[in-house]
Amino acid sequence: MPTAHPRRDPELDRSNANLLAALHGTRHRPFGLRDAQGHPLFAVQPQVNAEDALMHVSLLLKCAEEVSDEITERASGIERGLIWSMVHSVEMARAVVDALLDGARPGPA
């Protein structure tokens, strides 16, 4: 009979948590639009810890999934196929991020 939670490997969970804790914080990284003088309007802030950054990435990817799902319903033909391809890529990226985060948190044995 399947269990509600898959069995976890506590040693692997500890290793993942140690790996996540060992990652450096973020570095300042400008992105996106620039003003008339060429200064970036947006930037990743420095020293955000890896777990917090990954949690935010997961949230951003979830938002992208939801927007893409809405757009797909209104698309047709090749557009629909392209959007579904993007949705699938976003879902896979989010699954990797969430798996990293899950491995860093204590879970059921």
How much is the pLDDT for 80?
86
Considering the domain boundaries, does residue 42 fall inside one? Answer: yes
* pTM for this predicted structure: 0.68
Neighbours of 82 (CB within 10 A): 12
Name the burial class of residue 23, with classes exposed (0-12), middle (13-18) and buried (19+) by CB atoms within 10 angstroms of its CB.
Answer: middle
Residue 74: inside a domain, yes or no? yes
Structural domain of 69 = 10-104
Residue 2: inside a domain: no
Is residue 90 a contact partner of residue 57, using CB atoms and an 8 Å limit? no
Instruction: Give per-residue pLDDT as tens, 82-105.
Output: 888 888 899 999 998 888 887 666
pLDDT tens figures, 22-76: 888 888 899 889 999 999 999 999 999 988 999 999 999 999 999 988 888 888 8
Residue 46 lies in a domain: yes
In a domain, 36, yes or no: yes
- Residues 7/31, Cβ–Cβ less than 8 Å: no
Asked if the structure places residue 3 within a domain, the reply is no
Judged by DSSP in three states, 59 sits in helix
Total number of domains constituting the chain: 1
Which is higher by pLDDT, 17 or 33?
A: 33
Query: Is residue 5 included in any domain, yes or no?
Result: no
